[in-house]
Amino acid sequence: MWRILPRFLRSRHSELSRHAVLVAGLCGIFFAFVDFMDSVNNGRFTVSWSVYVSLLVCLITFFWIEMPVPSYDKLMNWCYLLIIVQGLYHSALSTFDSVTPTMSLESLYAFFLSTFASSILWLLAFHYILFKLVLQKFFPFEARKQPGIWVILHVSAIVSVACCVCLSQCRETLLEQRYWKNKFCSFWLIPVEFAHSDQYCYSPKFACSESPAGSSNETYLRLSPWATFICVYIVSYVVMPLKSGNQQNKPDFLAMYHWYSGTSLTLYKTVFDMVSTNVIQTRFDMRILQAALNRREEATRDYLYDHFSEEEELWFDFMADTGDGGNSTYTVARLLAQPKILVTDPDEQNNNPDEQIQDTKPKLNLKRGKLLLIGGDIAYPNPSEFTYERRLFRPIQYALQPPPNHDERMTTNKPVVPPELLERDQDVPQCFVIPGNHDWFDGLCTFMRNICHRSWLGGWYMPQKKSYFALKLPKGWWIFGLDLALTDDIDVYQFEFFSNLANAEKGVGQNDSVIIMTHKPDWLVDWYENGDSRNNMLDYQSKGKNVTDLICNILKERCKLQIAGDIHHYMHHAAVPQPNGNNNEPIKHLLVNGCGGAFTHPTHVFRGFRESRGVSYECKVTYPSFKKSTRLAFGNIWDFCVKNRRFEYVGGIIYFVLVCSTLPQCEHDDLVQPVSASGDWSILFGTIGKAFKYILEDSNVSLGSATLLLIVAVALVPSTVSFMKRVMIGAPHVIAHLAAALFFAVLLEAGIVDFVRSKTLQTSAYHSLYQSHRAMFHRELPDPISIQDTIERWAFGLYQAYIKYFMSAFDLPELIAVSRSNICENEIVSRWDKTIYYASSFLFLYICSTLIVSFILGSYLCICINCFNLYYDEAFSSLRIGDYKAFTRFHIKSDGDLEVFTLAVDKVPREWELEPNWTEPTSDDLSHRRENPSKWKASKLDPEPLETVKIIDKFVIRRTNGTATEVPVH
């Protein structure tokens, strides 16, 4: 907890409202302490101090509301708070006055709304009229930024809560003459002499009482605490400059993408681009255009790179699926950028488990790769300039900066070495990238512009000119980077290039070794998607026929390894040795490593994979483990609602459409009749059953929406199972949502009926809360008639209308009760009453359903993935897990053997701080020559990746026969 608290305060407290929170919090703590001590000394318990402790909880809630999240999340926070306050207000209205006669709940609530509305008006006028037009002419505020509407709402709410705390306690002081409270109120609040006030009215349920002894005609005007807070805020904003340099002390990373966002236009654009590109690609393929633009004699120059082939040895790295969360992408990029990584040798770790001599174990020195391979999906969710810049280029540039004189312009003729560097700096690391399915959503346009026609990805130089390539490495090793597009296969021109290279005299020799790099792990995906037909090997080859032909019929035993991303976990499968001694079948090793920065995928759904392309395989290493992956899937039950707040936008609308035909239930007013506990439940479920029967027999809108939801639910069940199983899985899911929607509809009706019968809600007319406000206005102001006349004359009546309708929005139960009464009692109902009723009911159902719809969907995903191996993508994209990141480092040794190390970090830092000695790179001090090239390091409260990185898999591939020596890593 002590590690979480400082981060909570840093990330959620606002510079603009710190003073208001501090004053209100100290006042609440002071009053609560005094009341508590008074209760202890007198031997009696009073509820006053606990009430104000609850107000302190409200202040913490306002901290939470002001956190830097999208506007929809802030709106939902305010809506939740609104519903809770209204429910508590009407539930406690009849009992609160008898407990605390010094300040009625009606007066307190009306005063809160009055100050809240007034604060919004005054702050808007100050920031956007007075400050912008007047004060900036006299004071220099170049770095000052105007606050948004959410900050103004936040400040207004805090000021209103502070006023309620201070005023109610100081009013109580006048009656009970508590010394310390009296001292505090006398010195802090502004005393106002009343000329016409000899009596104090505290509640409409109590008669007016005479002024307490010793107070004479002195009281405290209700406007004085509000005016004090507003003045303190304005003075602090004008005089105390904002700390404009705070943002420079932390990186501006984007959070993991919200895949279940119902309000994201980017997500809808991604779906549109994906569908349209699939249609267009049947007629036009960017890969064909690349081949057509190159003359045959120029093809080798643009697709084949052999400048690494003369090295004595070579280190190179592989990662895939970057550009989702900034923290996770930067963590992997920071590890890749280090000149070397020292990790414990897994051989020694397994042979000597003694923890006491851990520090004395030999360390492996894994050097930074001179070549970085990226296996696609470099930015999520769609390829655009914004996602490439913010989710890919920025984190990688923070990890390894490009030279100061690098060329950011588009280029059509890139040499294999950067021309802008001096000869001694020509060993700068290089990068090659293949596109993934997300990079193809716009037809590969953004990828070509930012990868093939730009020279630098951070501090890695990119000589790549096309979307696929062949790299000739030392000691007869080759890398074929394939572009599968959205068809999961290579096109005919790409097949021609690689097959010719495999058979050419100066191409891949008979004793050479080839690494196939693809974006999609076809061996796992084909096994998963074939479902009940997994035993039929012909189904495995339904996709990727050209890739299979290239590997099995052309490269054959020369293909030693196939590596891919797309699925965001690590899995290593090795071919099982054949008993007849024939071990020349491709491929010896299959690696999936999509842990470059995207959300984590499960591994346990693929535990049944055993065979691909006629070769048997066994699983060597998984990361995370099968057991850990299963535990992570259970997070959908409790984390789906927290991590997918904006999904509620869709879920709330669906719930309302499902039950809108059953509202209002005028004939079910007996639901709240006093009966036994068992009778209450029987009436509740009986009412839900009647509503469900009404939907089946008489409703059109609700029945149609439920039928459509059932069709969609069945259609979205993966096709790996039969149709009957899909119906059996999808139907209970829809029934659960429909039952939950009917439950909340009945509960809403029962609550409104109960409030009406307890007389905490009236059904005669609207705006009862505004009438309480006017009564409070008359009781508390010294000359209410003249003040009201002055306000009306200056505001042309707009302020009164604003307060009136503002308070109506804060009393939705009254709107529902009055409009419901008009609909149930009148044969002819006005359209206005129907609009008010359904709009108000929609807001309540929307807010209440957001929790249960997420719980049901999260539980459904958890059951499906752990019991039926379904929804592996959907069930983990909802969790948005940024941890468990990894990359693979290769080392071609001088004898030609290939060492393979996979390094991983279990926990990704969330907070970063500037490296103490970091400076911008210069022409004499390039980033790749520095010992600490990255700009940010993990904060003291987070694990440092350089200290927690570990080897999760290590094996060696022999160059000649492809056999491997695996080292088990735990």
pTM for this entry = 0.78
The helix (H) or strand (E) run that includes residue 889 is strand 885-892
Termini Cα distance of the chain: 30
* % of the chain at pLDDT higher than 70: 66
For residue 698, what pLDDT band results from cuts at 50, 70 and 90? confident
For residue 737, what pLDDT band results from cuts at 50, 70 and 90? very high
- Specify the DSSP class assigned to residue 248: G
Q: What is the pLDDT of residues 555-568, one digit of tens each?
A: 988 999 999 999 99
| Spatial distance between the Cα atoms of 102 and 98, rounded to a whole number of angstroms | 10
Task: Pick the closest to residue 572 from 964, 305, 196 (CA basis).
Answer: 964
Q: What is the pLDDT of residues 401-428, one digit of tens each?
A: 998 887 777 777 788 888 777 777 778 9
Task: Pick the closest to residue 464 from 484, 441, 492, 483 (CA basis).
Answer: 483
Using the predicted structure, report yes or no on whether residue 89 has a pLDDT greater than 90.
no
Do β-strands 371-374 and 314-319 pair in parallel, antiparallel, or remain unpaired?
Answer: parallel
Using the predicted structure, report yes or no on whether residue 193 has a pLDDT greater than 80.
no
Helix-strand-coil percent breakdown of the chain, rounded to 5?
55, 10, 35
Q: What is the pLDDT of residues 318-341, one digit of tens each?
A: 999 998 999 999 999 999 999 999
What is the reported pLDDT for 305?
92
Range with lowest mean pLDDT among 154-168, 262-276, 389-403, 904-918:
262-276
The residue among 74 and 684 whose pLDDT is bigger is 684
For residue 532, what pLDDT band results from cuts at 50, 70 and 90? low
Using the predicted structure, report yes or no on whether residue 295 has a pLDDT greater than 80.
no
Q: What is the pLDDT of residues 847-859, one digit of tens each?
A: 778 778 889 999 9
* Mean pLDDT of the 809-836 span: 83
What is the reported pLDDT for 883?
94
Task: Pick the closest to residue 427 from 922, 928, 860, 772 (CA basis).
Answer: 928
Q: What is the pLDDT of residues 368-395, one digit of tens each?
A: 999 999 998 998 988 889 999 999 999 9
The residue among 209 and 257 whose pLDDT is bigger is 257
* Mean pLDDT of the 772-797 span: 61
For residue 363, what pLDDT band results from cuts at 50, 70 and 90? confident
| Spatial distance between the Cα atoms of 74 and 503, rounded to a whole number of angstroms | 62
What is the reported pLDDT for 872?
92
Q: What is the pLDDT of residues 211-226, one digit of tens each?
A: 333 333 333 345 666 7
Q: What is the pLDDT of residues 238-285, one digit of tens each?
A: 665 544 444 457 788 998 988 887 666 666 666 666 666 555 555 556
Mean pLDDT estimate for the chain? 76
| Spatial distance between the Cα atoms of 433 and 481, rounded to a whole number of angstroms | 8
* Mean pLDDT of the 166-193 span: 51
User: Which residues lie below 8 Å from residue 60, measured CB to CB, with a gap of 6+?
Assistant: none
Q: What is the pLDDT of residues 451-473, one digit of tens each?
A: 988 989 999 999 998 899 999 99
* % of the chain at pLDDT higher than 90: 31
| Spatial distance between the Cα atoms of 2 and 7, rounded to a whole number of angstroms | 9
User: Which residues lie below 8 Å from residue 708, measured CB to CB, with a gap of 6+?
Assistant: none
| Spatial distance between the Cα atoms of 156 and 148, rounded to a whole number of angstroms | 13
- Helix H segments across 211-359? 223-239, 265-281, 286-293, 299-303, 326-337, 346-351
Q: Angle, nearest 10°, between helix axes 105-125 and 768-780?
A: 90
Using the predicted structure, report yes or no on whether residue 429 has a pLDDT greater than 70.
yes
Please report the DSSP string for 916-959 in residue order.
TT----BTTB-GGGSSS--SEEE-TTS--HHHH-EEEEEEEE-T
For residue 176, what pLDDT band results from cuts at 50, 70 and 90? very low
| Spatial distance between the Cα atoms of 259 and 504, rounded to a whole number of angstroms | 46
Q: What is the pLDDT of residues 666-685, one digit of tens each?
A: 775 555 555 445 556 677 77
What is the reported pLDDT for 432?
96
Q: In this structure, what token pair is assigned to residue 722? A: 């039969």
The residue among 239 and 204 whose pLDDT is bigger is 239
Q: How many CA atoms lie within 13 A of 63 on its CB side?
A: 20
Range with lowest mean pLDDT among 12-16, 62-66, 605-609, 702-706:
12-16
For residue 783, what pLDDT band results from cuts at 50, 70 and 90? very low
What is the reported pLDDT for 23?
57
Backbone angles phi, psi at 292, to 5 degrees: -70, -30
What is the reported pLDDT for 533?
53
The residue among 895 and 175 whose pLDDT is bigger is 895
